């Protein structure tokens, strides 16, 4: 009834939008698709995905893009905002039978004008290594599907490596491969390397080295996406069971976890400085999680359906008093890993140093975007008041938190040093130590109390008085003792990570009981963000969002890859167009 009129209005598809930086404009001539430009009938097929690579040629036209549509895979020169797309001449085009490409990734380290290494994952579980410039099929992995028969959900080169890559499947497993090794002619035999309640890592038992090198089993249900931290050391995984799990990739240790408000988590990304992780999922929300504090710092509501991609915009993310270049392009600069690693670390340490010593936090704004099945693009700003809430706000929140005995990092990222030193006795308003990871024992103890309290929480109606808090304190200290012993008994797995494992074991026992714990705070306990802009930009559900220096790239399930010029970058193409008519671009 009332929705009818509104529904029609909303069917209008936006071709431009304005934020405080200025006007973003869709460049219709820069639309990439299948050469015939016919919308792909998308029902029931795998999401369209786009990968970029710069081949470092001298011309300045080094950008290449790859995308999959249905059972086809295309490789084009990407002209971005500079020139119209020329769809008549894909550098490479492949059509697959019996299996569909689902995802792909270029190796940025090895890319040259003569050769690129592109990994392609498939719906039946295989992974192919191809070179769309040389047009050779170099290698096929999991060809006989002996390793995993389920759909490949995410494939990525290990940062800084020319030969290692990681493949996630809808089975919930993830495999580390080396392009130099074969996959063997028999199903692999595995040997347990490390285990937590929600994950296990196995090595492949074999006389000669073979793929997979490692098998990760993470959570329950499909592993939907993973993302390496900018410094390449950590791996964030999101799963259909609604959990974000962040691992130290090399030491195979769980750093922290988070649970969606409800439903599966579908996408994940890191802030350029590695301090924050954003997820999107089936609760229609985006969730911002602090890597340092291991807690949810904000949620965002703007989408009308599931969120399919989240991404930070490194070019609009700014930290005052520091060179903005520090933050830009860390995604693109994997070529120089060591540089990237040092840089990210230095930024991080500088930030945290400043946070812990200055009474005023630095002026930081992070920009991220999200696209969803609602065909909408949302842009979000993470501002200081969310990142470093001032005392009144955090105190106000403390009241709601107290009865849940929320975990240590309930205070803000170190804005109030020295007010409450001990995070065990002051759960609601505690200030995490500058390096919380070195302090994991109180961590596990308190979050254990958190999960205990949530059990009580089910029984006690919300709005319990502060007496509940007092009793929780007692319980906590008792449990602390127990935990301590258990830590030792788990020492045989890995003394180094036992306390971390314990943390998982405790908090992951029942996903239903996570609400009100640091794993999944109640809606009213964390700030709710509103999007800067929220625009319907396609007919079909959106599946791609990539922030480039000059533009934003989006793509929808129909197979149209759109380029949105950033403010001030629009003129570049229009002057070209006046010289060349659209048909002239074929030449």
Partner 1 sequence: MTVRNIASICNMGTNASALEKDIGPEQFPINEHYFGLVNFGNTCYCNSVLQALYFCRPFRENVLSYKAQQKKKENLLTCLADLFHSIATQKKKVGVIPPKKFISRLRKENDLFDNYMQQDAHEFLNYLLNTIADILQEEKKQEKQNGKLKNGNMNEAEENNKQELTWVHEIFQGTLTNETRCLNCETVSSKDEDFLDLSVDVEQNTSITHCLRDFSNTETLCSEQKYYCETCCSKQEAQKRMRVKKLPMILALHLKRFKYMEQLHRYTKLSYRVVFPLELRLFNTSGDAVNLDRMYDLVAVVVHCGSGPNRGHYITIVKSHGFWLLFDDDIVEKIDAQAIEEFYGLTSDISKNSESGYILFYQSRE
**Cβ distance to partner 1 smaller for residue 281 or 413:** 281
Least distance to partner 1 from the beta carbon of 172, Å?
A: 12
Contact between 183 and 211 (Cβ < 8 Å):
yes
**Cβ distance to partner 1 smaller for residue 163 or 509:** 509
Nearest to 280 by CA among 292, 288, 290, 291: 288
**Cβ distance to partner 1 smaller for residue 437 or 522:** 522
Q: Contacts with partner 1 in 12-31 (CB under 8 A)? A: none
**Cβ distance to partner 1 smaller for residue 107 or 514:** 514
Least distance to partner 1 from the beta carbon of 8, Å?
A: 11
Is residue 418 part of the contact set for partner 1 (CB under 8 A)?
Answer: no
3-state DSSP call for residue 97? coil
Answer for which of 297, 402, 515, 545 binds partner 1 (CB under 8 A) is 515
- Which of the stretches 36-44, 46-54, 543-551, 564-572 binds partner 1 when contact is defined by CB under 8 A? 36-44
* Cis preceding linkage at 212, omega within 30: yes
Task: Tell me how many residues contact partner 1 (CB under 8 A).
Answer: 37
Is residue 527 part of the contact set for partner 1 (CB under 8 A)?
Answer: no
Nearest 5 degrees, angle CA 465-CA 470-CA 474?
150
Q: Which helix (H) or strand (E) holds 454?
A: helix 440-459
Here's the x/- map for partner 1, 139-178, by CB under 8 A: it reads as -------------------------------x--------
Please enumerate in sequence order all residues whose Cβ is within 8 A of that of 539, keeping only pairs 6 or more positions apart, or say none: 13, 39, 375, 556, 558
Least distance to partner 1 from the beta carbon of 547, Å?
A: 24
Is residue 574 part of the contact set for partner 1 (CB under 8 A)?
Answer: no
Rounded distance between C-alpha atoms, residue 95 and residue 286, angstroms: 35
Eight-state DSSP code of residue 411: S
3-state DSSP call for residue 226? strand
**Cβ distance to partner 1 smaller for residue 328 or 376:** 376
The token pair that represents 365 in the structure block: 């704004």
Nearest to 321 by CA among 270, 360, 369: 360
Is residue 541 part of the contact set for partner 1 (CB under 8 A)?
Answer: yes
Q: Contacts with partner 1 in 327-366 (CB under 8 A)? A: none
**Cβ distance to partner 1 smaller for residue 11 or 182:** 11
- Residue 94's beta-bridge partner residues? 73
Nearest to 53 by CA among 35, 36, 66: 66
Answer for which of 82, 304, 350, 473 binds partner 1 (CB under 8 A) is 304
- The four Cα atoms 424, 428, 433, 436 give a dihedral, to 10 degrees, of 80
**Cβ distance to partner 1 smaller for residue 151 or 210:** 151
Rounded distance between C-alpha atoms, residue 559 and residue 69, angstroms: 6
Is residue 437 part of the contact set for partner 1 (CB under 8 A)?
Answer: no
Is residue 557 part of the contact set for partner 1 (CB under 8 A)?
Answer: yes
Is residue 512 part of the contact set for partner 1 (CB under 8 A)?
Answer: yes
Give CA separation, 558 vs 37, 43, 330, 449, in Å.
10, 9, 30, 49
Rounded distance between C-alpha atoms, residue 314 and residue 272, angstroms: 6
Answer for which of 262, 335, 350, 479 binds partner 1 (CB under 8 A) is 262
- The four Cα atoms 35, 40, 46, 51 give a dihedral, to 10 degrees, of 30
Q: Is the dihedral of CA 263, 268, 274, 275 positive or negative?
A: negative
Answer for which of 56, 182, 209, 305 binds partner 1 (CB under 8 A) is 305
Is residue 299 part of the contact set for partner 1 (CB under 8 A)?
Answer: no
**Cβ distance to partner 1 smaller for residue 95 or 461:** 461
Rounded distance between C-alpha atoms, residue 165 and residue 175, angstroms: 8
Answer for which of 30, 375, 487, 543 binds partner 1 (CB under 8 A) is 375
Question: Which residue's structure tokens are 């703007």?
Answer: 302
- Which of the stretches 50-58, 279-287, 315-323, 424-432 binds partner 1 when contact is defined by CB under 8 A? 279-287
Is residue 462 part of the contact set for partner 1 (CB under 8 A)?
Answer: yes
Q: Which residues bind partner 1 (CB under 8 A)?
A: 1-3, 7, 11, 41-44, 170, 221-222, 242, 261-264, 282-284, 304-306, 373-375, 458, 461-462, 512, 515, 522-523, 539-541, 557
């Amino acid at each position: 009834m009332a929705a009818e009129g509104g529904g029609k209005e909303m069917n209008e598809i936006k071709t431009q939008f304005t934020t405080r930086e200025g006007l973003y404009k869709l460049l219709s001539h820069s639309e990439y698709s299948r050469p015939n430009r016919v919308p792909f009938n998308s029902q029931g097929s795998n999401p369209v995905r786009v990968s970029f690579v710069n081949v470092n040629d001298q011309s300045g036209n080094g950008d290449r893009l790859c995308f999959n549509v249905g059972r086809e895979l295309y490789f084009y020169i990407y002209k971005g905002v500079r020139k119209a797309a020329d769809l008549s001449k894909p550098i490479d085009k492949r059509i697959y039978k019996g299996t569909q490409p689902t995802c792909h990734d270029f190796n940025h380290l090895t890319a040259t004008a003569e050769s690129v290494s592109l990994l392609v994952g498939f719906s039946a579980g295989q992974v192919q290594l191809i070179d769309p410039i040389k047009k050779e099929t170099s290698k096929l992995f999991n060809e006989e599907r002996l390793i995993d028969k389920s759909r490949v959900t995410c494939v990525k080169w290990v940062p800084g490596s020319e030969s290692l890559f990681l493949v996630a499947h809808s089975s919930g497993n993830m495999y580390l491969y080396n392009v130099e090794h074969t996959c063997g002619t028999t199903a692999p035999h595995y040997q347990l390397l490390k285990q937590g309640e929600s994950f296990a890592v196995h090595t492949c038992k074999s006389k000669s080295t073979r793929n997979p090198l490692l098998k990760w089993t993470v959570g329950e249900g499909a592993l939907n996406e993973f993302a390496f931290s900018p410094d390449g050391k950590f791996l964030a995984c999101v799963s259909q069971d609604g959990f974000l799990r962040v691992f130290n990739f090399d030491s195979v240790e769980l750093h922290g976890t988070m649970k969606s408000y409800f439903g599966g988590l579908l996408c994940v990304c890191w802030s350029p400085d590695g301090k924050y992780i954003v997820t999107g999922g089936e609760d229609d929300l985006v969730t911002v999680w602090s890597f340092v504090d291991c807690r949810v710092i904000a949620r965002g509501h703007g989408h009308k359906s599931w969120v399919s991609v989240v991404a930070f915009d490194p070019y609009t993310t700014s930290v005052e008093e520091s060179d903005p270049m520090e933050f830009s392009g860390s995604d693109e600069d994997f070529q120089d890993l060591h540089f990237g690693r040092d840089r990210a670390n230095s930024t991080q340490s500088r930030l945290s140093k400043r946070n812990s010593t200055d009474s005023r936090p630095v002026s930081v704004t992070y920009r991220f975007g999200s696209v969803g099945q609602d065909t909408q693009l949302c842009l979000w700003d993470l501002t200081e008041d969310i990142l470093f809430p001032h005392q009144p706000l955090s105190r106000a929140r403390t009241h709601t938190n107290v009865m849940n005995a929320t975990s240590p990092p309930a205070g803000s990222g170190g804005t109030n040093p020295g007010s409450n030193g001990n995070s065990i006795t002051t759960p609601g308003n505690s200030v995490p130590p500058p390096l919380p990871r070195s302090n994991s024992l109180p961590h596990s103890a308190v979050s254990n109390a958190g999960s205990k309290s949530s059990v009580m929480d089910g029984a006690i109606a919300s709005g319990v008085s502060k007496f509940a808090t007092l009793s929780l304190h007692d319980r906590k200290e008792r449990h602390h003792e127990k935990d301590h012993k258990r830590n030792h008994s788990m020492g045989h797995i890995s003394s180094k990570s036992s306390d971390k494992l314990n943390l998982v074991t405790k908090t992951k026992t029942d996903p239903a009981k996570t609400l009100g714990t640091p794993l999944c705070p109640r809606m009213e306990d964390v700030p709710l963000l509103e999007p800067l802009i929220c625009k319907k930009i396609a007919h079909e559900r959106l599946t791609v969002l990539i922030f480039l220096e000059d533009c934003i790239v989006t793509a929808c399930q129909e197979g149209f890859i759109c380029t949105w010029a950033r403010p001030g970058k629009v003129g570049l193409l229009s002057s070209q167009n006046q010289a060349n008519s659209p048909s002239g671009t074929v030449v």
